[in-house]
């Protein structure tokens, strides 16, 4: 079944947060954000641009202080001045009065934070999941984790090609906003959508997460190819066959092909596999240049979700009987000491086959 909402049902009265076309009445302006990394901060700034009153929960006291006292987040979003209306707190209980909450922690912290937040929030408050990864110990998607950790809360997924720094600066961006409930989907879009942040509605909650999970692993692979100077042809081949892997895995997990070809799938794959702004691609690049993943990661405060996802995604693909050779190879390089020469040789000497998903 295609769960994309029909176009006529979408064409409703109409204003996003900045007066741009939206759908119906927005959710209230009290937007909570869990996670003051680059993306949580950028989303708070974007919501503020649309007239919301964002309050971010940050893990570090110094981040709370920097946002509140200097309207900046030098640790995670350096060089981007924030609107003074973006506020921060170290106490999740302060999010109790929020009209909706954007969940943007690293994926491995999602369960604990959703559980803790649910203790302070009415179960009717929607949670918008913006993190891009799977839970390592369960292979669950973020929506599955949050359904267990914060039962009863309506859930939506925001996912697309959105480098935080560009979004925070107000440069034009677009993303998929997926929810089972079309009315909720429209109300979130009306709250968060802007002319410079175009949100496209979808009913495919699973599909909207699969793209972001797989693309991070592909970005590491592409970075390795870049670091090894294997050329642009190789990068394009990898990206295209990466889409085939994403599609096979997505279909096996119940995603719709159309979603995987949209902003949250192909769109994010293209972005993350074409710029060293991507932490995942730059991690791969460092490895391709001879660096060691653990050492590179130890030198960063930012998260490269693909480094965690590769192992769980490879195992999950095997369990489901889905062939994911690029993912398997990235996992083997990161976690089992496979040499880059062997990795490239293994991928290049696979038997020829029909070009298909």
Ligand X SMILES: NC(=O)C1=CN([C@@H]2O[C@H](COP(=O)(O)OP(=O)(O)OC[C@H]3O[C@@H](n4cnc5c(N)ncnc54)[C@H](O)[C@@H]3O)[C@@H](O)[C@H]2O)C=CC1
Ligand Y SMILES: O=C(CO)COP(=O)(O)O
Binding residues for NAD(+): 35-40, 164, 279
Q: Which is nearer to ligand Y, 33 or 271 (CB)?
A: 271
- The set of residues, in sequence order, having a beta carbon less than 8 Å from that of 7 and lying 6+ positions away, is none
| Active site annotation includes 215 | yes
Least Cβ distance, residue 318 to ligand Y (angstroms): 24
d(CA 111, CA 150): 8
Least Cβ distance, residue 121 to ligand X (angstroms): 17
Q: Which is nearer to ligand Y, 161 or 203 (CB)?
A: 161
Q: Which is nearer to ligand X, 130 or 194 (CB)?
A: 130
Q: Which does 272 bind (CB under 5 to 8 A by kind): ligand X, ligand Y, none?
A: ligand Y
Tokens of residue 51, six digits: 């007239």
Q: Which does 109 bind (CB under 5 to 8 A by kind): ligand Y, ligand X, none?
A: ligand X
User: Binding site residues, as ranges?
Assistant: 35-40, 59, 132, 160, 164, 215, 268, 278-280, 303, 305
Q: Which does 76 bind (CB under 5 to 8 A by kind): ligand X, ligand Y, none?
A: ligand X
Selection from 149, 49, 73, 75 nearest residue 108 by Cα:
149
Specify the residue for token string 């089992």.
336
Q: Which stretch binds ligand Y (CB under 6 A): 182-190, 233-241, 278-286, 347-355?
A: 278-286
- The set of residues, in sequence order, having a beta carbon less than 8 Å from that of 34 and lying 6+ positions away, is 40, 56, 57, 92, 95, 101, 102, 103, 104, 105, 113, 117
Selection from 262, 305, 313, 261 nearest residue 283 by Cα:
305
Residue nearest to ligand X (CB): 37
> Does residue 226 touch ligand Y according to CB under 6 A?
no
d(CA 152, CA 145): 13
d(CA 141, CA 40): 19
> Does residue 102 touch ligand Y according to CB under 6 A?
no
To 10 degrees, what angle do helices 110-118 and 142-149 make?
30
Could you list the residues that contact ligand X (CB under 6 A)? 35-40, 59-60, 76, 104-107, 109, 130-133, 162-164, 302-303, 305
User: Binding site residues for sn-glycerol 3-phosphate, as ranges?
Assistant: 132, 160, 215, 268, 278-280
Which residues sit opposite 158 in a β-bridge?
177
Among 45, 73, 259, 272, indicate the residue that binds ligand Y (CB under 6 A).
272
> Does residue 219 touch ligand Y according to CB under 6 A?
yes
**Quick check: helix, strand or coil at residue 88?**
strand
Tokens of residue 245, six digits: 């892997």
Q: Which does 107 bind (CB under 5 to 8 A by kind): ligand X, ligand Y, none?
A: ligand X
Give the active site residues.
Answer: 215
- The residues of the shown chain that bind ligand Y, judged by CB under 6 A, are 132, 161-163, 216, 219, 268, 271-272, 278-280
């Amino acid at each position: 079944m295609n769960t994309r909402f029909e176009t006529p049902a979408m064409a409703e009265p109409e204003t996003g947060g900045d007066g741009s076309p939206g759908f119906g009445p927005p959710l209230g302006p009290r937007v909570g954000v869990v996670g003051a990394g680059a993306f949580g901060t950028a989303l708070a700034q974007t919501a503020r641009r649309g007239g919301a009153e964002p309050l971010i929960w940050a893990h570090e006291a110094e981040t709370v202080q920097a946002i509140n006292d200097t309207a900046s987040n030098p640790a995670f979003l350096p060089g981007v001045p924030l609107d003074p209306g973006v506020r921060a707190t170290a106490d999740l209980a302060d999010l109790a009065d929020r009209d909706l909450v954007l969940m943007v922690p690293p994926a491995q912290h999602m369960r604990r934070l959703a559980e803790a937040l649910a203790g302070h929030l009415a179960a009717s408050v929607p949670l918008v999941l913006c993190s891009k990864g799977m839970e390592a110990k369960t292979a669950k998607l973020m929506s599955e984790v949050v359904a267990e950790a914060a039962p009863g809360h309506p859930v939506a997924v925001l996912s697309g090609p959105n480098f935080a720094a560009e979004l925070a600066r107000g440069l034009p961006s677009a993303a998929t906003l997926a929810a089972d409930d079309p009315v909720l989907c429209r109300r979130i879009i009306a709250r968060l959508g802007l002319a410079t942040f175009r949100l496209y509605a979808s009913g495919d909650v699973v599909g909207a997460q699969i793209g972001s999970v797989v693309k991070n692993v592909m970005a590491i692979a592409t970075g390795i190819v870049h670091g090894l100077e294997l050329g642009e042809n190789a990068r394009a081949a990898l990206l295209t066959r990466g889409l085939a892997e994403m599609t096979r895995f997505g279909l096996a997990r119940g995603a719709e092909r159309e979603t995987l070809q949209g902003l949250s799938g192909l769109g994010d794959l293209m972005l993350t596999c074409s710029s060293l702004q991507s932490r995942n691609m730059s991690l791969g690049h460092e490895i391709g240049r001879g660096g060691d993943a653990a050492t590179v990661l130890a030198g960063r405060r930012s998260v490269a979700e693909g480094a965690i996802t590769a192992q769980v995604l490879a195992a999950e693909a095997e369990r489901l009987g889905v062939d994911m050779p690029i993912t398997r190879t990235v996992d083997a390089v990161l976690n089992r000491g496979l040499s880059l020469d062997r990795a490239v040789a293994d991928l290049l000497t696979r038997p020829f086959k029909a070009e298909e998903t």
